[in-house]
A and B are shown apart, each in its own frame.
Chain A
Amino acid sequence: MAGAEAPSHASPEPLRAQMLAGAGQAMPVVAGVVVFGTVWGALAVQAGLSPLEVVLMSGLVFSGAAQFVAIELWSSPVAVGTIAFAALLVGLRHVLMSASIEPVMRGIPPRRAYAALFFMVDEAWAMSLRRAGQGRFTIAYYAGLSGTLYLSWLTTTFAGALLGGLVADPARYGFDVVFTAIFVVLIVGLWTGRRDLPSWAASALAAVACHQWLPGNWYIFLGGAAGMLTAVLLWSEKSQSDEVREAARAD
Chain B
Amino acid sequence: MRIDPTALAAIVAMGVATYLTRIAGYWLARHFTLSGRVQAGLEAVPGAILIALIAPAAFATGVAESAAAGVALLVAVLRWPMLVALIASAAVAAGVRAVI
A and B associate in one complex: yes
* Given A184-B76, A185-B75, A227-B44: A208 and B81 interface contact (C-beta under 8 Å): no
**A interface, by DSSP: helix, strand, loop or mixed?**
helix
Q: B18's contact among A79, A94, A103, A232, by CB below 8 Å, is which? A: A94
Q: A95's contact among B24, B44, B51, B68, by CB below 8 Å, is which? A: B24
Interface pair A178/B47, CB less than 8 Å apart: no
* Given A66-B18, A228-B45: A208 and B59 interface contact (C-beta under 8 Å): yes
Q: How many residues of A contact B (CB 8 A)?
A: 105
Of B10, B28, B91, chain A has the most CB atoms within 10 Å of the CB of B10
Q: How many residues of B contact A (CB 8 A)?
A: 78
Complex interface residues of chain A between 4 and 60 (CB less than 8 A to chain B): 32, 35-36, 39, 49-53, 56-57, 60
Q: A235's contact among B40, B45, B71, by CB below 8 Å, is which? A: B40
Distance (whole angstroms) from the CB of A247 to the closest CB of chain B: 12
Extra 12 A-B pairs, beta carbons < 8 Å, given A83-B13, A180-B54: A61-B18, A88-B20, A99-B34, A181-B90, A183-B53, A184-B58, A184-B69, A184-B76, A188-B76, A200-B47, A219-B52, A240-B40
B residues lining the A interface (CB < 8 Å): 1-4, 6-26, 28-30, 34, 36-60, 64-65, 68-69, 71-73, 75-77, 81-83, 85-86, 88-95, 97
Q: List 15 A-B contacts (CB under 8 A).
A: A32-B82, A80-B6, A87-B17, A89-B49, A97-B22, A97-B25, A99-B25, A100-B29, A171-B97, A174-B64, A181-B71, A184-B58, A185-B85, A187-B47, A226-B52
